[in-house]
Chains A and B, each alone.
Chain A
Amino acid sequence: MPNRLLNVRQELTTRVRVVLTVLAFLLPLGVWSLVSYVPVIWGPMIKVTESGDVSWLKPGQLMDRHEFAAQVDKTIAEGKAPPAGKRANPIFLPAPHEVGRALYTAFTTKPVLKGDKWLHESIWTSIRTIFWGFVISSAVGVPLGILCGAFFSISRLTEPFVDFVRYMPAPAFGALMVAVFGIHLEPKVAIIVIGTFFQQVLVVANTVRKVDGGLLEAAQTLGARRRQLVLRVLLPASLPDLYNDLRILLGWAWTYLVVAEVVGVSSGITFFINQQAKYRNFDNVYAAILIIGFIGLTTDMALGFIGRRLFPWKDNRPSRLRNFIVRLFAARDICAFADKPLVVKA
């Protein structure tokens, strides 16, 4: 069996694929659970259960294991009642069930300060930031990338500069964007645009350049002109790859979210995370981070699902039935047309 799993470039059966996908999530969860519920594995802290005669220790308090041991020795040496405690993990590593609970309670907990946002409001702000950043970037970046891919002159005129700006980290523009756009949503959207746009132009241009030149030649011999070569050949030919590019770039846009949201007045999910960390509600912090992951993964899966339906001609795993039918007719067809009378064209 392990032998079969490690065949080079061999497709897996559906069952094996599903099992491996589930394992991909279960394994990290397992490690996390093990560390959380079996504190002896790691447990660098002690959770105090009884303070004994040490007045400054409170039950429930967390303390470094070695310091605690020293305190116990010292108390015994002084002839007083030593404190008691059990091994525990640091506060920044809550157990899975705590985070699981937080996934729900984080939404139902009222914000501590008046004016702070609920979690769902924070998430909505983040999604809006990403959405507008990505839409604005794509509205300019995709057409420009296509033009760069189609015309070498436009590519020469654009790409060297784009390449240059690409190396400037987007957060470096933070202060500038605040000066230009104020402190609310706009500078954050601008950071996402800066982070995405320049990559986008280059990626799209490259994808369009990869279109088989033979298709352009064929179209030309069929009478296609410049405009038609771009709109009727290059564009549809590269569309599935462009779609996938955009999926990947959307993922990049998410990675710019956190730096964008600390620009100006901190907002969105980043503000929520920072706020919760300040209150040391690390279960909520994990919950918020996981939610970003969920949103990203489900969007990507949804886009992938839609993509497979948008481009049926690109399906490299056609249904077995369709394959069978095509092959059946292909074999028969070779003999079929030989003595067939042809229609005379008027």
Chain B
Amino acid sequence: MNTTDHLPDYREQSPEVAARFAKIKERPVVLEIDHLGRQFAGEHGSVTALRDINLKIHRRELVCVIGPSGCGKSTLIRIVAGLDQATSGRLLVDGKEVSGPGPDRGMVFQGYTLFPWLTVTQNIMFGLEMQGRAKTSARSEAEQWADLVGLGRFKDNYPAQLSGGMKQRTAIARALAANPRVLLMDEPFGALDAQTRCQMQSHLLEIWRNVDVTILFITHDLDEAVFLADRILVLKANPGEVQEIIEVPVPRPRRIDQIHSPEFLATRRRLDELIHPKSEHPPEPLPIIRLTQAGDDVE
């Protein structure tokens, strides 16, 4: 931990980064989460999964939500997608209150959820067809999207014939083709191996740069959050509440070697403090029984 002692404050922003944030704040608010709360009826009374969440996301902003497992990240994004109902608060897209799912809020799930009976192109066409587009024009647009996410050669493959990364790229293309105002992503790269995940992150940023879309991205991976986000919403668990909203001081365009830059490390350290707070009660050591022979130590 010695190397991080001389890190800058994570709130310090270079002039370019500060200018970028000023510019973002001038853009219209696309998604507004207003005093949102969610309680679940449990066996022993109700459980508060989310309490008083407030967030305004501006056009073409990329916001990450991070927090420990079980803090309500999925619940939050499912409510935004309209797949779950908030017990209090409101949700506004482009200033209009919404409830229930709709094509203005596209979603990419951790489990891909591609339609297994449709090819890559047909999966991407699905949203367009739901909006009443003619088959031929939907197909040609879907093929462009397949090219855009680098799946040109796999247009006619079924999901079962794709690797995890390719499936997730299809899912991203499928969501974007429906032309949503907000793209919601719930730990989309969580099931991928480290190398593929890293590639997918760069790829997502490249797509985002070229497409007019606002992204709300859920993750529990600190590096992923810092690498992708303009702002990071940090949740705490029991009940799920906003701890802090961090403006990431790492300049764009992001490159993979920036993960060693001081701003990156400073932000990451701040996230680490928030998510893994120094506990007054260190966890009790496990009652480990020695199974190896004496003198066989690894430490």
Task: Give A residues with C-beta under 8 Å from B.
Answer: 212, 214-215, 217-225, 228, 232-233, 236-237, 239, 311-314, 318, 322, 326, 329-330, 333-334, 336-338, 340, 342-345
Contact = CB atoms under 8 A, between A and B. Distances in A.
Chain A facing B: main interface SS: helix
Nearest to B105: A221
B271 interface: no
A237 B111 contact: no
B218 to A, nearest CB: 14
Given A343-B148, A345-B210, A330 B166 contact: yes
Given A217-B101, A333-B166, A334-B199, A237 B117 contact: yes
Nearest to B203: A337
Contact of B103 (A221, A313, A314, A340): A221
A314 B116 CA distance: 8
B165 interface: yes
Contacts of A217: 81, 83, 101, 107, 109, 113
B153 interface: yes
Contacts of B158: 312-313
B98 to A, nearest CB: 12
Contacts of B209: 342
Given A222-B106, A333-B150, A345-B210, A311 B117 contact: yes
Contacts of B202: 338
Nearest to B104: A223
11 contacts: A217-B109, A218-B114, A221-B101, A221-B102, A221-B105, A222-B106, A313-B160, A330-B162, A333-B150, A342-B206, A342-B209
Interface in B58-102: 81-83, 101-102
Task: Rank and list the top 8 A-B pairs by shortest CB-CB distance, nearest first.
Answer: A223-B103, A222-B127, A337-B150, A220-B101, A330-B163, A223-B130, A218-B113, A313-B158
Contact of A343 (B144, B157, B180): B144
A313 B162 contact: no
Nearest to B169: A337
Contacts of A224: 126, 130
A344 B210 CA distance: 5
Given A334-B195, A345-B210, 10 more contacts: A214-B111, A220-B82, A222-B175, A222-B178, A223-B130, A223-B131, A313-B116, A334-B165, A342-B209, A343-B210
B206 A222 contact: no
A232 B178 CA distance: 16
Q: Give chain B's interface residue range (CB within 8 Å of chain A).
A: 35 or more
Contacts of B162: 326, 330
Contacts, number: 116
B202 to A, nearest CB: 7
B237 interface: no
B196 interface: yes
A216 B83 CA distance: 10
Contacts of A239: 117
Contacts of B210: 342-345
Given A221-B103, A223-B103, A345-B211, A340 B150 contact: yes
A215 B166 contact: no
Contacts of B144: 343, 345
B154 interface: yes
Scoring A233, A237, A340, A342 by chain B CB atoms within 10 A of each residue's CB, the highest score goes to A342
B102 A342 contact: no
A336 B163 CA distance: 14
Contacts of A214: 109, 111, 113
A220 B83 contact: yes
B179 to A, nearest CB: 10
B175 A221 contact: yes
A214 B117 CA distance: 15
A329 to B, nearest CB: 6
Contact of A326 (B83, B115, B157, B175): B157
Contact of B83 (A221, A225, A318, A322): A221
A53 B116 CA distance: 82
Nearest to A212: B113
Contact of A221 (B107, B196, B207): B107
Contacts of A338: 199, 202-203
A342 B148 contact: yes
Nearest to B209: A342
Contacts of A333: 150, 163, 165-166
Nearest to B180: A221
Contacts of A236: 115, 117-118
